[in-house]
């Protein structure tokens, strides 16, 4: 336990030592979003001089709405997410929340109001929480129940359980904008559906949600889906509208049809 704690401390100090590339502007705005409307306006970005990665991304997610981003590997989905969290700033264009340019906001305020459930959840020692994410029963089984300390690598929890803790944390943080980076990738189908149902109920109309999706079955009822390819939006619409377009989305959907059929059978 001591060894693990030292490893945790060491990794925490390593993170703290890193010099952030993005810094607050002088006199950053204090930010208290009202509704959480998110707008990307002609956002362009490149990591280096070699290649432009995002080639003018524009979308608007209304307060409390859900938008999903799909597209092939390397399309730029994660990059869009990184810009939203200000790990980098756009080279052109703006990202606004409730009309406020996020580069003008104090970063700590931004992080308070934008939550994420990452693909790979790293847990520092912490007291675990929450029923919304269906992790409550598991926690009760631990000898110290709600006082259980979870190790840096989440040693006592499976991948899916770690992700549920991450969801729980994000829910408790009550952000205005929430990003799911294929949130339930490592969860089994039934649990996944239950969690998503719970989350949708908890979030509906309250939290603006972005889903970076790999499996389309989880995002069919999103308010809007954008299809990104090579850094540009090539199609957008609801699931039904996109299928009718008979384009890239339809191809992706057909490719995943075996798993979709399974999903549909379960939900009928």
Strand partners, 61: 38
Residue 255 CA, distance from chain mean position: 24
Find the shortest distance in angstroms from Cβ 226 to ligand ATP: 12
Find the shortest distance in angstroms from Cβ 27 to ligand ATP: 30
Q: Following DSSP, what letter does each residue of 114-157 receive, concatenated? A: EEEE-SS--B-S-B---TTTT-HHHHHHSTTGGGPBPPTB-TTS
100-101: strand order across its sheet: 54-61, 38-45, 92-97, 100-101
Find the shortest distance in angstroms from Cβ 40 to ligand ATP: 14
Per DSSP, the three-state class of 70 is strand
Judged by beta carbon, residue 139 or residue 225, the one nearer ligand ATP is: 225
Judged by beta carbon, residue 8 or residue 181, the one nearer ligand ATP is: 181
Judged by beta carbon, residue 24 or residue 182, the one nearer ligand ATP is: 182
Judged by beta carbon, residue 109 or residue 235, the one nearer ligand ATP is: 235
- Residues of this chain that bind ligand ATP (CB under 6 A): 47-48, 53, 71, 73-79
Give the ranges where 52-126 is alpha helix by DSSP (H).
77-84, 107-113
Judged by beta carbon, residue 65 or residue 77, the one nearer ligand ATP is: 77
Find the shortest distance in angstroms from Cβ 45 to ligand ATP: 9
Find the shortest distance in angstroms from Cβ 73 to ligand ATP: 3
The answer to whether 135 and 154 have CB atoms below 8 angstroms apart is no
177-181: strand order across its sheet: 114-117, 177-181, 208-212, 66-70, 224-229, 232-237
């Amino acid at each position: 336990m001591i060894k693990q704690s030292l490893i945790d401390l060491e990794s925490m100090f390593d993170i703290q030592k890193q010099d952030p590339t993005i810094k607050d502007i002088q006199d950053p705005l204090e930010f208290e979003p009202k509704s959480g409307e998110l707008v990307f306006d002609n956002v362009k970005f490149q990591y280096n001089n070699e290649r432009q990665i995002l080639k003018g991304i524009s979308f608007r997610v209304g307060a409390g709405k859900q938008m999903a981003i799909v597209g092939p590997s390397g399309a730029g989905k994660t990059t869009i997410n990184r810009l939203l969290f200000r790990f980098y700033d756009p080279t052109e264009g703006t990202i606004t929340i409730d009309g406020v340019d996020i580069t003008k906001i104090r970063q700590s305020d931004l992080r308070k109001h934008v939550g994420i459930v990452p693909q790979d959840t790293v847990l520092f020692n912490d007291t675990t929480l929450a029923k919304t994410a269906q992790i409550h029963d598991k926690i009760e089984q631990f000898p110290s129940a709600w006082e259980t300390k979870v190790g840096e690598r989440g040693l006592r929890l499976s991948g899916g359980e770690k992700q549920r803790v991450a969801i729980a944390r994000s829910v408790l943080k009550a952000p205005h904008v929430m990003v799911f980076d294929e949130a339930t990738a490592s969860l089994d189908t039934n649990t996944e559906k239950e969690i998503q149902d719970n989350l949708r109920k908890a979030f509906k109309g309250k939290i603006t949600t972005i889903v970076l999706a790999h499996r389309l079955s989880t995002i069919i009822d999103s308010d809007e889906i954008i299809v990104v390819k090579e850094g540009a939006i090539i199609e957008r619409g609801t699931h039904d509208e996109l299928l009718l377009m008979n384009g890239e989305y339809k191809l992706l959907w057909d490719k995943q049809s075996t798993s979709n059929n399974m999903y549909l059978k379960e939900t009928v």
